[in-house]
Amino acid sequence: MTQDKEVLYTYKVVILGGGGVGKTCLFNRFCFNSFDFATELTIGVNFHSTYINIKLENKEYESIFNCEPYIVDSIFDFGGQPRFKPLIPKFIKGTDGAFLVFDSVSYASFQQLDYWYELLTDTVKKNIPILLIGSKSDLLTQTPKMEIVRDDLIYDFVEEKNIQGFYRTSALENYNVLKVFKKINQLMLEQNEVEAIVV
């Protein structure tokens, strides 16, 4: 606890997907509000903790605290290259929420999602909120239609895997980045039957 923050919950959030799909750009945009065109492939794992402001719906409970309640997210961004895959299960144990990320203009990255989903669910072994993220949405208007991952394939995957939602994001344009992190935190609160709203 700090002077102006009352930490009520701590959650572990992981960002999974193939190499070069934009996981680190998503991580950097949310955690540091930064974007770098020269982002290099992640070596191993990036980690950062952030505060998420919440509003308690139970007024009696809220009155106990003298300052605003917060969630602390521990966010893990993993390198997607094959050489790092053996390390990942050790780091994703205890995960409370996850993003599965693919490049909106790369069918190859979308086809890798089955692997990442199975790795996540086989390792965590409990029901957790998962959001599917189509990154690099800023490239959609300048990419031939045949190279863009089709919506029907995306929504079939969401339905088949019982994923809690799909969002397109752009770390470059800061589009939907805050929205997806708020959403995963709201879902984690609901998973734990916490009467609170992410604000």
Quote the domain boundaries for residue 62.
5-198
> What's the whole-model pTM score?
0.91
Give CA–CA dist 140/144, Å, rounded: 8
Give me the residues of the chain with pLDDT under 70, please: 1-4, 37-44, 59-67, 80-81
- CATH number for the domain spanning 25: value is 3.40.50.300
pLDDT tens-digit map of 134-153:
999 999 999 999 999 999 99
Which residues are 180's β-sheet partners?
A: none
Domain total in the chain: 1
- Assess contact for 187 and 179: CB atoms under 8 A: no
* Residue 83 Cα distances to 9, 18, 42, 98, angstroms: 34, 12, 11, 21
Where do runs of H (alpha helix) occur along 38-150?
A: 59-62, 88-92, 107-111, 113-124
